[in-house]
Structure formats: C-alpha cells, structure tokens
Amino acid sequence: MKLTKIIQLTAPADNDALGLKKGDNYYVVTHAKGIVGLGDFVNDLIPDVATLETDGLMSKKDKANLDKLMGPQDKIQMKSPDGSIFNITISNDGKLLPVKEDKDE
C-alpha cells in the first residue's frame, strides 16, 4: 500500500469557526477514498463470509449450527431456579408443554 503524506498545517490567523488561534497546528480531515490504496488494504483484512460449503469468518460447520439456531426450533431447553432442566415444546394449538428432563438419561 502506498502511504499518503501526512501534512500538518499551521493556522495563519485566528479562526473562531474552527477553534484555531494563529500559529496553532492542525491536520486536514480526509475520508477513505482520499487515502491511496486503503480500499485494497482493508479488503485484504476482511475475511470472506462463511457459507454452508466454504469456511470464511467462521467455519462452514459453525455456519450450519448458527443457521439451525436462527430457524424455528422443535423444542428449547430451560433451567428452573433449582437447576432442573425442562424441555419445552408447543402443541399444534399453541399450548406450551414443559417436560422435566430425567437426570438419569
């Protein structure tokens, strides 16, 4: 990446709008497009997005597991205040059906 020159400027006179006094040093504000080569440099740092077929920012296995979490679930597990685990499902008429998990399973 080619570095752009950093130039420090000096206020030639007082400028209340900018909050500068004569002789104050300051830098000009720029933007990403004003920095030569920044786009290519940043693109090389950003990993590809993971898909179900290819690894990227995460593994394809993690991507598949995450996708499962994002969709509707058949059941969820929740823990009660005493530490008991319950499997909660929902019936076709919308009723919640909690079933305590047997510790011996």
For 53-83, give the DSSP string: SS-SSS-HHHHHHHHHHHS--S-EEEE-TTS
Mean pLDDT rounded to a whole number for the chain: 88
**Residue 96 banded pLDDT, cuts 50, 70, 90:** very high
Residue 12 in domain? yes
Is residue 91 over pLDDT 90? yes
CA–CA distance, 90 with 93 (Å, rounded to integer): 8
Residue 22 in domain? yes
User: Domain span at residue 2?
Assistant: 1-46
Q: What mean pLDDT comes out for the span 85-99?
A: 94
CA angle 16, 33, 29 (to 5 degrees): 15
Poorest-pLDDT segment among 18-32, 35-49, 71-85, 88-102:
35-49
Residue 81 in domain? yes
Are 78 and 96 in contact by the 8 Å Cβ rule? The answer is no
Per-residue pLDDT, 103: 75
Per-residue pLDDT, 87: 94
Per-residue pLDDT, 81: 96
Residue 95 in domain? yes
Per-residue pLDDT, 1: 59
Query: What does residue 87 show for φ and ψ, rounded to 5 degrees?
Result: -95, 125
Q: What is the pLDDT of residues 25-69, one digit of tens each?
A: 998 878 777 778 888 888 878 888 899 999 988 999 999 999 888
Count up the domains in the chain and report the number. 2
